[in-house]
Amino acid sequence: MQKKAFYSFFNQSKYLAGARALEHIPIELHSYDAVRPLVIATKDVTASGLKKIFVKAFYDSDVTIGGFYDNVGGTAAISTIKELRILFHDRGCDSIIALGHGPAMDTAKGLNMLVSLGVDDIFTLEGEDTISTPLKPFFTVPTAGSCGYDMSNMAVIEHHRFKSDFLFPDVVCLDPRMTGINDIGRAVESAMVALTHAMEASDSTMHNPMNDAYSLAAIQFIHENLPRALKCPRNREAALALAYANALAAVAFSNAPAGAAHILGEALNKLTGNDPGVCMAILLPHATEFMVGKDILMRDELLLAQAGMDAHASTPEKDRIKESENQLKKLMASAIKYVPANLKSLRIPPYLIEQAAREAEASGSHGLTFKDYMTILNNAGKAPAVR
Amino acid sequence: MILPKYSEFCGRVKTLSGASALEAIPGELKKMNSKKALIITDKGVESAGLIKIVKEAISKKGSKLTVGAIYDETPPDSDYKVVNSVASIYRNKNCDSIIAVGGGSVLDTAKGVNILVSLGGDNVLAYSGAGAVKQRLKPLVAVPTTAGTGSEMTLVAVIADHDRHIKMTFVSYFLLPDIAVLDPRMTKTLPASITAFTGMDAMTHAIEAYFCLGKNPMSDTTAFKAIQLVSKNILNAVKNPGDMESRLAMANAAALAGIAFSNSMVGLVHNLGHATGAVCHVPHGVCMSIYLPYGMEYNLHKVGDLIGELLYPLAGPEIFAKTPKKQRPRATIDYVRGLNEELKKATGGRHATALKDILDREGKQMVPRDAIPVIAKNAMGDGAKTYNPEEQSFDDNIMVIEAAWEGKPLDLKKIKKGPKNQKF
Amino acid sequence: MNIDKYPELKPGKKYIKRYYVAIMLWIVGRAIQAACRLDKEVIKEFSELPEKFTFSLGVLPDGPFMIIGKDDKGRAKYMGWNKGRTRFPLEMNIKSLEAAIKVFTFQEGTATAFARERFIVDGDLGYALAVVRVLNIIEVYLLPKIITKLAVKRYPRWSEFSPLRKWVNRILIYIRAFTF
Amino acid sequence: MQEIIGTSNKVLEVDLTTKKFTISDVDLKDLSLYMGGKGLGLKMLYDRMPAGVDPLGEENMIAFMMGVLMGTGAPCSGRFAAVTKSPLTGIMASASCGGPFGMALKTSGWDGVIVKGKSPKPVMLVVDSKGVEFRDAGKYWGMDTHKVQEHLDKIGSAVVIGPAGENLVSYANICSGHRFLGRGGMGAVMGSKNLKAIVAKGKEYKIVPKNQKKFARTRKTCMDYINNNKVSGNQYRNLGTNSHVMLSNKAGILPVRNFTTGSHGEAHKVSAEVMLTKFNAKKSTCKPCAILCGHKATFGGVDRIVPEFETTGLFGPNLEIFDPVIISKWNETCSLMGVDTISAAGTIAWAMEATEKGLFKSNLKFGCPDHIDQTLLDIGHAKGIGKELGMGSRWLSRKYGGEDFAMHVKGLELAAYDPRGAFGQGLAFAVANRGACHLSAAFFALEAYLGMYAPYTTWGKASYTAFAEECFDAVNSLHICQFTAFPVFLQPPLIRVLPTISLKISLSAMAPIAVQVMDLSIWSKFWSSITGIKMNMWQMLKAGRRIHVLERYMNTREGISRKDDTLPGRLLHEGRKSDPKGRTVPIDKMVPKYYKVRGYDKNGIPKDRTLKKLGIVKK
């Protein structure tokens, strides 16, 4: 570890994880002097009956839910946010709880900026560290669908990116009743995003012990629990662990530069509408392989997180990197039913793939060239359909 | 990884770490639009010339930050009167942020001051208790000068009321410092012995965090990393104090351990350690390093596997792989004992491994044998015991302390064992 | 947007659970009072607490509570369940009713509950620990071994806790607790 | 004059890179499997073009295919099809047009022309019976569609592109006479090949059906049907497609203010009645035609085409503008520039809303007619703001946000029907091969106008959509006007005597059977009487299915799958303001059913079994 290099690390969130976590929300709200949260949920929450559980959790507390908006669609839309501001003020709310996955969280973050900073057009805040005053208390209750973005310090609204430490949720409440998996495919996709973020955060040349604690924990969780979840989606413990992993990966992601697989995955998602989780999952093994080939360091702690102490200790030092690549491949293979093995099976036209590489280079946050990205993409394209 | 039925975790402190971490303070404070900082510290730190370094660092060119005032009379255990008076200084000089340079008491004082100046009022005791503070406070930067206590990561402040002879505790997540600065220059001047036991202090935090009742996934990984860093660097840091890299590593380890133990509470070692410190005024870290092996032995039957796992970060994969699973817990404990011995060598015997050979400056014994019952009694009233996997009654305490006094391993048969294999 | 579509939701009540916890607290409270006249350990613990010491154990945000105080003879006295706004030198609060249920159905022992941060202790931790020790003893008295085993870290041995003393006191405590 | 019996079965293949052309003969088997027109075009591209080519690259091909009926004088047969890979959607696009070029090419002895490659500098093709002549088109480059056609008139009839096509506006169209190969940005494909125009001299051959007697008989019945049917014989003939305005407004499926609500009090101002009386319009249609839906009028001193409904609806109410004169003016600008009015209007509507929401900077505002004409010119010349608007609403919304209200499917902007008032149309939009195409199943008419389906249920919608798609793909391969569907569906005796209610019930309850009793034999009779190859209506429908699945199959090779068969967020999440119930399209209920009917797998990919059964891939 190059501890000489300066690093800074931050994570705002407090995690409540486990049985009856929801019932702890009122007391947490209290520690912020908040008593009237506005709840923002995605459409599916009501449908899958989670709303009932959530509301019941507030019984016998002195917290009144100022409003339960459960109509967030596929993306965080500025119009929704503006409407929610009216609701927020009308009910005199003093805090925000986001329930569900991505869009709800982003909407909540947008609303929080709007109501806390009193701006009229949040797009003036676009970019990094544009906020300098704390926002209103913001809690999140992720469900199974939420992925490695949602609990990060970033919000994406209408393709505008907002990044600030004040956008971290104050409390992340992981309750097995909420994180239960009902769509395993979706769960796998989000786990893959988390895995990508975690791996690339721990691999990135700027890793530091603090961030490692998070990313390695996330990786370990996923490697231990994704297979369990695949075997039995009803397994609540595994589901909870995956949700936890997502939350931790989000932190690692917030404190490290985005990696190649992440950048390419997003570009492909934008161009073709394929799920980012799928794209990243396909690209990740090849991206890491490429990095190793470029001997951009990939550390053997990784194997420790993937395979546990005994496996790591019993593997001779020089083989560890190879081994952890195999471990990754093994994991992907176990999820083959939901995540195809190569880009070919997504049938993306070559000219779009090139465009993706070009956009990835333009984003420039990882310092790879168009050629590098193309090699990764081509490897991913050629890979055998069965692992 | 063990995922407990229910657990909470919060590491809400921005960490700046590196050879030039201090220089980053102005920028970070600027983000929180703060312009004028009050520096709180104590004489020791001042005389070690650390304040000079800090001042130079934060007033380097380009920084908008000015130093409003420096208060360096913080007593070894923080007093509420001091807090109130410092608060008035802060107000008079109308500062808008606090930089605390020093150990636990300095930071506790700073936390108290921060409460007063942010929430108003002129007596800090009005805010004592759990969760009395419910708002974000003014920016507070913690610059630890001993790589060990990890107090820069804790949400508790203990402020004494010497008139009534009580210690008021203040507990709130808003008491966490906004920024913790880990800069090797701050720990460079520590003498070997102190480096040794503060290091072991951090080690103890981490190890106990790893097997005590409040453990949770994140406390595990942080503790794991901390142990790794300490066992890799402590000897080096003691032998050649100038080695910035291992100094920084130790500082990081302390911070990580701080996160770990403030989230998963700590047990017997701290319990007895606190008591011993309170009764015989032995430095915290010394007790820690002595009690650590006993703490593990005492809980062996409940959390043996976890203790076994600890061999990995302590001794490294090779030894771990060589040792068969059944012998790992034992090996871990022996390793810690061994480490203590080595430190004893490295510090020329100043690093004690048994209570009886702790000596003060005049070289007379600090923990007399007849103090043991008093310590045991005192320990019954210390919170840490709650989180120890195994129940500890008065007699248990006596038994453990005696062993530690003698400095010979615990007789496992003597331990009253509850149900095996702790569930989390 | 039609904001009436998203009405505000006032918290409901979980009566059965509330009553259950209330009753448990009442029993424990009475039992402590009784034990403080019988069991030497309990008496010892209490004698070490300061004069006029009172503490409350309850569920946030608004009860039920159990308030125990030292009367002038230095013995524990059960002082009802209604806390009101008064503050006590020691307040041990369980964060939510559900958590309280977990504790009082002995799914989580006191120590586990502490470890899982179900409790908020306001006041001197030393006293709190004394109270916890008392609670453990009370549990030993009130409940059959199988259940108590779940609740405490280590069930007291014969040496510490002779069966004779246990049974005699158990009966007496039950009698005292439910008679006035 | 020489005669061609049935079809010439000869297709010209032109390579602009090498400036060479070859003549390939159509295999009669392919002809009977794919019928000609669109179907045959797709088949030929499928054989010639690999998957994943860049739509604007030189590997892309564009095929202009004449139907079997073309030139025989069958009613409403003056139409031809074009097929290519669209730069707007990145998948196959097909369009149909009633311009004079079709007749000319057919009577020069060709059933179609396929163009590939890229010419270094502007070029035009002149086609006669001998073949193709490459002429420099430098002097025509930059001319608008009408001016260039005036120049080319003395040579023959042409398909041309306007400035939009030259500037690769991704929804540029191709013009022939006053008619357009409207959707999917085929103009840009021609532009990318530096191909300004294709001119066919024509008048060299006479097309005669093989079985003249049968042909004449069929023709007569068809004419009767058309003239007696109230839609084709009255509504369209007298009012044109603008008659949809009031019908839609009544049914609440008229898009207003970028699909925020379904009807508007001022809609009558742009209704067909008002327009035609105001403009005292005359008929102006494709030839030969028996329905005569097109109209042109003289106002503002110049002859102008009266805008079709899509244009009126999307440039009118959807932008909250209710002045027919202005709308026709914009219609004119679009035609001159060679821009698809539907996509242009859709994109402008997005721009207006995005501007309102602060996502995008422009001077466009709902209800404000200023700037729009200029914007259209900018789009055509890819100047300033027009450069980006020319990329279509999908591209814009991906760059600037606002995907919820970017009204497109697979990149193709929605036509002027709000599916929240006609769920079947919603499904049709979602699964249509070329994107949000209103003609692929034209469900709106049955749901909202003729009341044969309950608009707010999902019963039988999947089966009917599938049936209609097959039948219309057949129609577009024949190739005959799609409006003949009204008479052919509704005029046969059986249907005519049945009360509507019984139709309604049978269609909704047992769609699979009900659609089988419809008498479509008219169309198949035409085809077989001309070619002399046997084909009954079942075979024709199967051919339709074959064509449709082939197109889907080609699209899935470009990465199309379940994720793309959906509707814009607005139609799924927020109800129309005009609808108190705030109903939205239950798309996820209908699509899986549709896949089942079609024989696709869960992910929307045609199963091997299906492909084999239809003979698309070898058994």
3-state secondary structure string across chain A: CCCCCCEEECCCCEEEEECCCHHHHHHHHHHCCCCCEEEEEEHHHHHCCHHHHHHHCCCCCCCCECEEEEEECCCCCHHHHHHHHHHHHHCCCCEEEEEECHHHHHHHHHHHHHHHHCCCCHHHHCEECCCCCCCCCEEEEECCCCCCCCCCCEEEECCEEEECHHHCCCEEEECHHHHCCCCHHHHHHHHHHHHHHHHHHHHCCCCCHHHHHHHHHHHHHHHHHHHHHHHCCCCHHHHHHHHHHHHHHHHHHHCCCCCHHHHHHHHHHHHHCCCHHHHHHHHHHHHHHHHHHCCCCCCCHHHHHHHHHHHHHHCCHHHHHHHHHHHHHHHHHHCCCCCCCCHHHHCCCHHHHHHHHHHHHHHCCCCCCHHHHHHHHHHHHHCCCCC
Question: What's the pLDDT band for D364 if we cut at 50, 70, 90?
Answer: very high
Q: Domains for chain B: give ranges and CATH numbers.
A: 14-185 (3.40.50.1970), 191-414 (1.20.1090.10)
Dist CA D514 CA D464 (whole Å)? 9
Judged by a CB distance cut-off of 8 A, whether residue C97 touches chain A is yes
Chain C residue numbers with beta carbons less than 8 Å from the beta carbon of B214 are: 115-117
Residues 6 or more apart whose Cβ sits within 8 Å of residue D41 = D63, D64, D65, D81, D82, D83, D94, D112, D114
pLDDT number for residue D31: 92
Subunits adjacent to chain C (3 or more Cβ pairs under 8 Å): A, B
Domains in chain C with CATH codes: 15-174 (3.30.1050)
What is this structure's pTM?
A: 0.89
- The token duo for B120 is 């108003």
CATH number of the domain at A373, please.
1.20.1090.10
D221 lies in a domain?
no
pLDDT value for A298: 58
In a domain? residue D16: yes
**A7 within domain boundaries:** no
A366 pLDDT exceeds 70?
no
- At A296, the pLDDT band (50, 70, 90 cuts) reads low
Domain boundary among A159, A179, A199: A179
Phi-psi region at A233: left, alpha or beta (left = phi > 0; alpha = psi -120 to 50): alpha
For chain D, how many structural domains are there in total? 3
Pair (D28, D123) in one structural domain: yes
Does D226 map to a domain? no
State whether A166 and A188 are in the same domain: no
Q: Where is pLDDT greater, at D382 or B423?
A: D382
Q: Are residues D8 and D122 both part of a single domain? A: yes
Q: Do both A347 and A198 map to the same domain? A: yes
Q: Are residues D90 and D184 in the same domain?
A: yes
- Only one residue has tokens 């590939």, namely D116
Instruction: Establish if A1 belongs to a structural domain.
Output: no
Q: Which residues pair with D126 in a beta bridge?
A: D133, D199
Q: What percent of chain D has pLDDT over 70?
A: 99
In-domain check, residue A69: yes
| Residue among A3, A15, A214 minimizing CB distance to B8 | A15
Residues A48 and A30 in one domain: yes
Percent of chain C with pLDDT over 70: 97
User: What is the distance between the alpha carbons of residues D490 and B193, in angstroms, rounded to a whole number?
Assistant: 101
Same structural domain, D194 and D121:
yes
What is the 8-class DSSP label of residue C156? P
**Same domain, residue pair D151 and D88:** yes
Give every residue of chain B whose pLDDT is below 50, as ranges.
none
Q: Residues D161, D33: one domain?
A: yes
Average pLDDT value for residue range D330-359? 93
In a domain, D160, yes or no: yes
CA–CA gap between residue D104 and residue D106 (Å, rounded):
5
**At residue A346, what is the residue type?**
L
Can you give the pLDDT at residue A370?
A: 87
The answer on A226 and A140 residing in a single domain is no
C-alpha distances out from residue D151 to D110, D144, D156, Å: 23, 11, 10
DSSP C72: T
Kindly state the tokens that stand for D572. 């799924």
- pLDDT band, residue A1 (cuts 50/70/90): very low
Radius of gyration of the CA atoms of chain B, in A: 21
- Tell me if chain C has a CB within 8 Å of the CB of A18: yes
Name the domain count of chain A: 2
In the chain, the amino acid numbered D53 is: V
**Nearest residue of C to residue A40 by CA position?**
C6
Measure the CA dihedral B181/B183/B189/B191, to 10°: 70
Same domain, D439 and D345: no
The reply to whether A173 and A191 lie within a common domain is no
Q: Check residue D15 and give its pLDDT.
A: 95
Which residue from C6, C11, C99 is facing A59, i.e. has the nearest CB? C11
| Same domain assignment for residues A19 and A154 | yes
Asked if residue A112 is part of any domain, the answer here is yes
CA B294/CA A292 separation, integer angstroms: 44
Model pLDDT, residue D413:
94
Q: List the domain range (segments joined by +) for residue A76.
A: 14-179
In a domain, A2, yes or no: no
One domain, residues D85 and D201: yes
Q: Could you tell me if residue D220 is inside a domain?
A: no
Domain boundary among A151, A179, A207: A179
The dihedral built from the CA positions of residue B248, B250, B256 and B259, taken in this order, carries a sign that is: negative
- Check residue D477 and give its pLDDT: 92
The angle formed by the CA atoms of residues B87, B89 and B93, to the nearest 5 degrees, is 120
Average pLDDT, integer, range D123-149 = 93
Banded model confidence at residue D120, pLDDT cuts 50, 70, 90: very high
Residues D167 and D278 in one domain: no
Confidence at residue D524, expressed as pLDDT on a 0 to 100 scale: 92
pLDDT at position D125? 95
Question: What CA–CA distance (Å, rounded) separates A269 from A355?
Answer: 12
What is the pLDDT at residue D35? 92
CATH number of the structural domain spanning residue D518: 1.10.599.10
| pLDDT for res A2 | 42
Residue D356 lies in a domain: yes
Using CA atoms, how far apart are residues D313 and D293, in angstroms rounded to an integer? Answer: 17
pLDDT at A4 over 50: no
> What is the number of alpha carbons within 13 Å of residue A76 lying toward its C-beta?
27
Query: Residues A340, A364: one domain?
Result: yes
Q: Walk along chain C (180 residues) and give the pLDDT tens digit of each residue.
A: 677 778 888 888 888 888 898 888 888 888 888 888 877 888 888 888 887 888 888 887 777 888 888 887 777 788 877 777 777 888 888 888 888 888 888 888 888 888 888 888 887 777 888 888 888 888 888 888 888 877 788 887 766 777 787 788 788 878 877 776
A206 and A109: one domain?
Answer: no
pLDDT in tens, A63-74: 888 889 888 888
pLDDT tens, position by position, D177-216: 989 998 999 999 999 999 999 999 988 999 999 999 999 9
pLDDT digits (tens, 9 = 90+) for A17-26: 888 889 889 9
C-alpha angle D32-D35-D39 in degrees, rounded to nearest 5: 125
CA distance A230 to chain D (A): 20
Q: Which residues are B71's β-sheet partners?
A: B40
Least trusted range by pLDDT, from A158-172, B55-69, B206-220, D79-93: B55-69
Q: Out of A75, A121, A351, name the one closest to residue D54 (CB).
A: A351
| D3 HSE (CA, 13 A, CB side) | 6
CATH code of the domain containing D156: 3.60.9.10
Question: Of C2, C98, C103, C107, which to mutate for an interface test with A (greatest number of A Cβ within 10 Å)?
Answer: C98
Cβ–Cβ under 8 Å, residues D162 and D339 = yes
DSSP D112-171: EEEEES--SS-EEEEEETTEEEEEE-GGGTT--HHHHHHHHTTT-EEEEE-HHHHTT-TT
Domain boundary among A179, A210, A236: A179
D11 inside domain: yes
pLDDT digits (tens, 9 = 90+) for D432-467: 999 999 999 888 988 888 888 888 988 889 998 999
| Angle formed by the axes of helices A301-314 and A320-334, nearest 10° | 110
Question: What ipTM was reported for this prediction?
Answer: 0.87
Q: How far is CA A99 from CA A17, A169, A190, B366, C1, in A?
A: 15, 12, 16, 57, 20
Same domain, A352 and A218: yes
For residue D347, what is the domain's CATH number? 1.10.569.10
Chains A and C touch (3+ CB pairs under 8 A): yes
**Domain containing D324: what range?**
242-407
Q: How close A48 gets to chain B, by Cα (Å)?
A: 24
Q: How confident is the model at residue D45 (pLDDT cuts 50, 70, 90)?
A: very high
Note whether D125 and D197 are same-domain residues: yes
Residues of B in contact with C122 (CB under 8 A): 129-131
Residues in chain A within 8 Å Cβ distance of D559: 272, 274, 346-349, 352
pLDDT value for C180: 62
- For B110-152, the DSSP string reads HHHHHHHHHH--S-GGGG-EET---S--S-EEEEESSSS--GG
Any chain A CB within 8 A of the CB of C96? Answer: yes
Query: Could you tell me which of A134, C126, A211 has the C-alpha nearest to residue B259?
Result: A211
For the domain that residue A72 is a member of, what is the CATH number? 3.40.50.1970
Q: What is the pLDDT of residues D296-344, one digit of tens each?
A: 887 767 778 889 999 999 999 999 999 988 999 999 999 999 999 999 9
Tell me whether residue D116 is in a domain: yes
Q: Examine chains B and D and say if they touch (3+ CB pairs below 8 A).
A: no
Per-residue pLDDT, D394: 93
Q: Counting Cβ atoms within 10 Å, is residue A284 exposed (0-12), middle (13-18) or buried (19+)? A: buried
- Looking at the fold, whether D76 and D165 belong to one and the same domain comes out as yes
User: Counting beta carbons within 10 angstroms of the beta carbon of residue C107, is it exposed (0 to 12), middle (13 to 18) or buried (19 or more)?
Assistant: middle
Q: Which of D89, D403, D585 to mutate to test the interface with A (most CBs of A within 10 A)?
A: D403
Question: Do D43 and D181 share a domain, yes or no?
Answer: yes
SS3 C143: coil
Residues from chain C that touch A20, judged by Cβ atoms under 8 A, are 96, 98-99, 102
In a 10 Å sphere around its CB, with 0-12 CB exposed, 13-18 middle and 19+ buried, how is residue D76 labelled? buried
Q: What is the mean pLDDT of chain D?
A: 91
